[in-house]
Structure 1
Amino acid sequence: MIALLDVFAPDGDEARRWAEEELADPRYADAKPTWFDLISRDIGRFLADLFSSDNGQNIGPTALIVVCVIVFAALVAALVIWGRPRRGRAVRRPITGLLGADDDRSASQLRADAERAARSGDWDEATVLRFRALARGLLERDLIDPSPGATAQAIAREVSRVFTAEADAVRRAATSFDDVRYLRHPASAESYAELAATDDRLTALRPELATA
């Protein structure tokens, strides 16, 4: 024998109360669109209606002005809310193997050692150390970012982009380094003095002044 179950049908007030209790569940609040979602949806609908086939024949300068105003207002709102985007600063990798040497001395230390070598008349050693000091100093100031294994000429090209007025002098300095380091051509007091003078100018020069 099949028992007949009574089906409870709530009245209007009871059904409304059930609906309110159900909608009060937190999962519905989490799924609620944000104000940004609502504004974006309304703008999208407005633009879709504006450029729909039904209104396509009626688009004129006024519609273009309205669209431009909306885009400009959206950009201004984004700047106000999130702020001006800042260029991310890359994390500079430590470079110890600079110009073919595993050397972690600072620029000031390299300059001091170069001057000691020059005072003793070892112009070859002084030239090599002074050009490394030049490159290390610009690297410490975040003005160049040579790749691992960069040559003296590659560093000179980077420096030339920062200090255009010193391009020729830096190329000559790189050539002096290559002549001593790789071609075994002896340096002289004059060639070292020119390299040291170039390093001193770059040390005192700021990029914005060089560009101007």
Structure 2
Amino acid sequence: MAVIRLRASPLDPDAPEARRWLEDELTGPEYQAAQPSPFDLAMQAIRDWFVGLFDGATGLPGPVLALLLVLLVVAVVIVGLLVFGLPRLRRRRRSDVPLFDDHDLRDLETLRRAATSAAAAGDWPLAIEERFRAVVRGLVEREVVTVHPGTTARAFADAAARSFPDLAGGLRDAASGFDGVRYLGREGSAEEYARVTELERRIADARPEGRGGHEAPAPEHDGAEAVR
């Protein structure tokens, strides 16, 4: 009977053999799964950066360093909110500004849809009114004009004309048209609605002159009728 001799691996390998064994072991799946992910590496880099900020503060106690680190993180969060969070809050606040005496809180797109719907139904007085409100809301949201409850259409037009002097005539005509269909019982027309719509488009595409922020004051009980 033939005898098969198995050659046992040396129990005391030399340096090259030991290195090969180690490399083979580290390629195993259990070691590959333990490798740090890109997120882990990023967090490590951020941590090392923070730690590097305090390399020169080795004389401070550990709790003090930890407190300084927490304060630094809080400062970073606050700066992030100021840079990225507050513009969104400001946009929401601008949309919450009520228009005129009826406290209209609708946003620009809602007013545009209402104007288009009224025009499609042939309701020209409502269409003209809603389109003029869209003109006002657009400039309020852009912080070009500031309005208050009770601000008249004419006061708004005068304030807006300071930022868009080339459109001053159209703004005042639109304000007069608004007053006419809302208070004087005028029927309006498709042509008048088209002019207000074109005015709103031109204002939306135009850049205001100066820094904007013109205020359209509310009437001081002098007999002027507020837009409502």
1:141 paired to 2:152: no
Task: List alignment gaps of at least 5 residues for structure 2.
Answer: 1-89, 213-228
Contact 1:99 1:132 survives alignment (8 Å): no
Larger relative contact order, structure 1 or 2 (CA cutoff 8 Å, min sep 6):
2
The separation in 2 between residues aligned to 1:180 and 1:155, in whole angstroms, is: 17
Could you give the per-residue CA deviations for residues 16-66 of structure 1, whole angstroms, max 9, x where no partner exists?
Answer: xxxxxxxxxxxxxxxxxxxxxxxxxxxxxxxxxxxxxxxxxxxxxxxxxxx
User: What is the aligned partner in structure 2 of residue 111 from structure 1?
Assistant: 112
1:193 paired to 2:205: no
The separation in 1 between residues aligned to 2:160 and 2:111, in whole angstroms, is: 19
1:158 paired to 2:163: no
The separation in 2 between residues aligned to 1:138 and 1:147, in whole angstroms, is: 13
User: What is the aligned partner in structure 2 of residue 126 from structure 1?
Assistant: 127
Aligned length: 119
TM-score normalized by the length of structure 1: 0.53
Could you give the per-residue CA deviations for residues 98-155 of structure 1, whole angstroms, max 9, x where no partner exists?
Answer: 1332221101110111001101100011011110110001000000012321000000
User: What is the aligned partner in structure 1 of residue 80 from structure 2?
Assistant: none
The separation in 1 between residues aligned to 2:159 and 2:199, in whole angstroms, is: 15
TM-score normalized by the length of structure 2: 0.49
The separation in 2 between residues aligned to 1:106 and 1:113, in whole angstroms, is: 11
The separation in 2 between residues aligned to 1:183 and 1:144, in whole angstroms, is: 26
Q: Give 1:56-135 correspondences, 5 Å limit.
A: 94-96=96-98, 98-135=99-136
The separation in 2 between residues aligned to 1:204 and 1:135, in whole angstroms, is: 15
Structure 1 vs Structure 2 CA RMSD = 2.0
Q: Give 1:46-57 correspondences, 5 Å limit.
A: none
The separation in 1 between residues aligned to 2:103 and 2:185, in whole angstroms, is: 20
User: What is the aligned partner in structure 2 of residue 88 from structure 1?
Assistant: none
Task: List alignment gaps of at least 5 residues for structure 1.
Answer: 1-90
Report the secondary structure of 2:126's partner residue.
helix
Report the secondary structure of 1:207's partner residue.
coil
User: What is the aligned partner in structure 2 of residue 179 from structure 1?
Assistant: 180
Report the secondary structure of 1:100's partner residue.
coil
Identity across aligned pairs (percent)? 42
Displacement after TM superposition at 1:208 (Å): 4.1
The separation in 2 between residues aligned to 1:95 and 1:208, in whole angstroms, is: 23
Could you give the per-residue CA deviations for residues 149-177 of structure 1, whole angstroms, max 9, x where no partner exists?
Answer: 10000000010000000000000000000
